Amino acid sequence: MNRLTLANRKMIMSAMKTTTRLINSLCYCLLFTGVVAAQAETIAGTSYQLNYTDTTSVSSYDGMYTASTTNRLGSANSSPVRFSNYIVSFQLPELGAVENPFATAAFSVAFASYAYQEGTVNIDLYGIDAGASADPTSSMGYFGASDPATNVTLVESNFLEANSGYTADQTISTSASALVDYLNAQYAGGAGAGQYVYLRLNPTITFGSAPRGYNIYGSGADSELVPQLSYTIPEPSSVALWGGLVVGLGLVLRGLRRRG
């Protein structure tokens, strides 16, 4: 039977202690200092202006404009009067079969001008359940303070606020936790990869014929003014690197124990 010398035993024990300290240090870093890097991405969306002739029924749908330089949000001085929602679609990235990959998220649009009566209506931001097409459907529109539909998520109330004095080219954004939750729910552990999510801006009132609202830059505007979705996810290469080191050190420790 092979026997280890006392010196070899001491060397192995020292190596085991060193390896254990290294593993503990790595775990500490991962847990407390965020050594796994965050990968940041920003994607531009496709904008749509959905028009209706009656704010009490989506059956009054009157067509849409897409990829315009600006899109109206609210009501217009037209005949018949048209009332509009602003919807932006984004394609969910391929991030693999992982739960809750989005760590942070932010949605932004750029204000162009007021439409008619200046700033007299609040605008809510909703997320609508993902679909296979980039184009929204007529049923996705809504006017009012609280959308009761089961396929929508309120991301932020009063995303645009009445009488706020917005100026031309001003960026309005939100990084609400509800946006992160919405994106992770739509990604659904990878089942939603490649699908489209829809972020809707809609007036909080079912107003009459008096025209009022906002003009928001659309996806046909200059690149710095288009609607955007920014998010962060754990960087795959960083996760693989540190995960591999931890596993490798664990194997070394296991081998040393077997030799002892």
Residue given tokens 């109206």 in the structure block: 72
Distance CA 236, CA 76 (A): 48
Q: What is the pLDDT of residues 69-101, one digit of tens each?
A: 999 998 877 777 889 999 999 999 999 999 999
Residue type, 92: L
User: Do residues 47 and 88 lie in contact, with contact meaning Cβ atoms separated by under 8 Å?
Assistant: yes
Is 131 part of any domain?
A: yes
Residues 218 and 227 sit within 8 Å (Cβ to Cβ): yes
Structural domain harbouring 105 = 40-234
CB 258 within 8 A of CB 15: no
Quick check: is 240 in a domain?
Answer: no
Identity of the amino acid at 3: R
**Chain segment 154-190, per-residue pLDDT in tens:** 999 999 998 899 999 999 999 999 999 999 999 999 9
- 3-class DSSP state for residue 185? helix
Classified as helix, coil or strand, 206 is coil
* Percent of the chain topping pLDDT 90: 60
Distance CA 233, CA 217 (A): 28
Q: Nearest-5° angle of CA 168, CA 171, CA 177?
A: 155
The sign of the CA dihedral 191, 90, 142, 52 is negative
Number of domain units in the chain? 1
Tell me if 163 is assigned to some domain: yes
Contact yes or no for 210/110 (Cβ under 8 A): no
pTM of the model: 0.78
Dihedral over Cα of 202, 208, 213, 216: its sign: positive
